[in-house]
Amino acid sequence: MNPIDKKLLEAAKRVTAHRPKTVIDHIIKYGFISTEELKQTYGYNHPPRAAGDVRDQGIPLETFKVKGSDGRSLGAYRFGDPSKIEGGKLGGRKILPKQLKKKLVEKFGARCAISTEEYDESHLQIDHRIPYRISGDDEGTDRNADDFMLLSGAAQRQKSWACEQCQNYLVNKDLTTCQSCYWAFPEKFTHVAMKQERRVDLTFTGQEVKIYQKLEKIARVNGSSIQGEIKKLIK
C-alpha cells in the first residue's frame, strides 16, 4: 500500500461525522474500501452515498474497480489528488442559522421557489441554490439569503435527484453552469441540469383542482397527457 499524503491525513483529522469518518478510517488502514465492504462490513446499502459524504467533507476520492469475494468486478474508493482538497468543506456542512429562514421568508415569501406555491413556514426547507458539493459553505452566521432558496419537501427531493444525475455535479463542478440552471434559479435559467429544456412546475390547489380534473378528463378522452393538453391550450 502506498503511503498517504500528509495533506490528506491532516484533512481527515477534521472529519468527525460517523459515516464519512468510517469510510476514511478504513481507507487509511487498508488503502481503499469497496462497495462490498461498505455494504457487508458497515451496513451501508447505498455505497455511493457514503462516498459522497466523504467528498462533501472536501476530501477527494477516486473510483476504480476491484474483484469482489465472488470474483466479480465491483467499485471501490481510494483517496484522490491532494491538490483537490476543498478547504471550504473541511469539517462538513455548517449548521444554518435560524434567522436565515426568517430572512428568506421576508425576501421571497413563504413559498416554494420551484412551484411558487405558498406553504406554512414549517413545511419549507432551506436549500443551497448551488449544491453544497460544488459551492461549499461559508463560516459564520451572516449568510446571504440570495445563496439559498426555500423548497417544499417534494421539490427538494426532485432537485436532489436531478442534481445527483447531472454531469456538472458528478464531474465538472462548474459554478457558472449551476448559476444558469433551473434547479438553482428557476426564475432565470437557460438549461435544466445541463439539458436544453424549459420547465414549469404547476400546482393546482383549492378550487383549481376542478380545472385539473377537467384537463385530466380531456386528456383521457384524447389519449394524451395533461401536459400535452396544456401545451395545446397555449398554442
Do 152 and 219 have their domain in common?
no
Residue 235 CA from chain centroid, whole number: 35
pLDDT per residue as tens digits for the range 179-217: 999 999 999 999 999 999 999 888 898 999 999 999 999
Alpha-carbon distances of 233 from 12, 88, 110, 230, rounded to whole Å: 57, 49, 30, 5
Do 12 and 74 have their domain in common?
yes
Q: Is residue 104 predicted with pLDDT exceeding 80?
A: yes
Whether 199 is in a domain gets the answer: no
Q: What are the beta bridge partners of residue 77?
A: 33, 63
Cα distance between residue 213 and residue 67, in whole Å = 54
Cα distance between residue 21 and residue 6, in whole Å = 17
Do 85 and 110 have their domain in common?
no
Could you tell me which residues come within 8 angstroms of residue 65 by beta carbon, excluding any fewer than 6 positions away?
A: 73, 74, 75, 76
Do 30 and 65 have their domain in common?
yes
Q: Is residue 139 predicted with pLDDT exceeding 60?
A: no
3-state SS class at 70: coil
pLDDT per residue as tens digits for the range 23-33: 999 999 999 99
Do 128 and 167 have their domain in common?
yes
Q: Which residue has the cell 473510483?
A: 63
Alpha-helical regions (H) of 34-174: 35-40, 47-56, 98-108, 132-135, 153-165, 167
Do 130 and 174 have their domain in common?
yes
CATH code (residue 73):
1.10.10.10
Whether 219 is in a domain gets the answer: yes
3-state SS class at 213: helix
The count of domains in the chain is 3
Do 41 and 69 have their domain in common?
yes
Whether 188 is in a domain gets the answer: no
Instruction: Tell me the pTM.
Output: 0.67
Give the domain range for residue 68.
Answer: 6-89
pLDDT per residue as tens digits for the range 84-100: 888 767 666 667 888 99
Alpha-helical regions (H) of the chain: 6-13, 18-30, 35-40, 47-56, 98-108, 132-135, 153-165, 167, 175-179, 209-222, 226-234
Residue 208 CA from chain centroid, whole number: 32
Are the CB atoms for 111 and 125 separated by under 8 Å? no
